[in-house]
Amino acid sequence: MTVPEQAPESGVLGDRIAGTLLGLAAGDALGAGYEFAVPPRRGAAAMIGGGLGDWAPGEWTDDTQLAVCIARVAAAGELRPDAVGDAFCDWYRSGPADVGIQTRAVLDGAPGGADLPARAAGYFAAHPDRSAGNGSLMRTAPVALAHLGDDAALAGSARRISALTHADPLAQDACVLWCVAIDRAIRQGRLDGVSDGLALLPGDRAIAWRERIAVAAEAPPESFTPNGYVVTAFQAALAAIWQTPVPPSEPAGHLREALQAAVAVGDDTDTVAAIAGALLGARWGATAVPGGWRDLLHGWPGYRAGDLERLALRAARAA
Quick one: pLDDT at residue 97? 96
Quick one: pLDDT at residue 165? 98
We find that the CATH architecture of domain 11-318 is: Orthogonal Bundle (1.10)
Quick one: pLDDT at residue 7? 47
Q: What is the arithmetic mean of pLDDT over 217-223? A: 98
Quick one: pLDDT at residue 319? 81
CA–CA gap between residue 242 and residue 263 (Å, rounded): 15
Residue 53 has pLDDT above 50, yes or no: yes
Quick one: pLDDT at residue 1? 33
Q: What is the 3-state secondary structure (H, E, C) of 5-25?
A: CCCCCCHHHHHHHHHHHHHHH
Domain boundary assignment for the chain: 11-318
Q: What is the arithmetic mean of pLDDT over 39-49? A: 96
Nearest one of 1, 103, 97 to 49, comparing CA atoms: 97
Question: How would you class 234 by CB atoms within 10 Å of its CB: exposed for 0-12, middle for 13-18, buried for 19 or more?
Answer: buried
Quick one: pLDDT at residue 180? 98
Question: Which residues neighbour 34 within 8 Å (Cβ) at sequence distance 6 or greater?
Answer: 40, 45, 48, 51, 263, 266, 269, 270
Quick one: pLDDT at residue 100? 96
- The count of other CB atoms within 10 Å of the CB of residue 218 is 10
> With bands split at pLDDT 50, 70 and 90, how would you rate the model's confidence at 9?
low
pTM given for the model: 0.96
For a pLDDT cut of 70, what percent of the chain falls above it?
Answer: 97
Quick one: pLDDT at residue 10? 62
Residue 33 has pLDDT above 80, yes or no: yes
Note the pLDDT tens digit of each residue in 22-31. Answer: 999 999 999 9
- State the alpha helices, DSSP H only, in the chain: 11-32, 62-76, 81-93, 101-107, 116-126, 141-145, 151-162, 169-188, 203-218, 230-242, 253-264, 269-284, 291-296, 305-318
Note the pLDDT tens digit of each residue in 125-183. Answer: 999 999 999 999 999 999 999 999 999 999 999 999 999 999 999 999 999 999 999 99
Mean pLDDT in the chain? 96
Q: Which residue has the higher pLDDT, 252 or 1?
A: 252
Question: Which residues neighbour 91 within 8 Å (Cβ) at sequence distance 6 or greater?
Answer: 65, 66, 69, 300
For a pLDDT cut of 90, what percent of the chain falls above it?
Answer: 97
Question: Which residues neighbour 228 within 8 Å (Cβ) at sequence distance 6 or greater?
Answer: 133, 134, 267, 268, 271
Q: What is the arithmetic mean of pLDDT over 264-284? A: 98
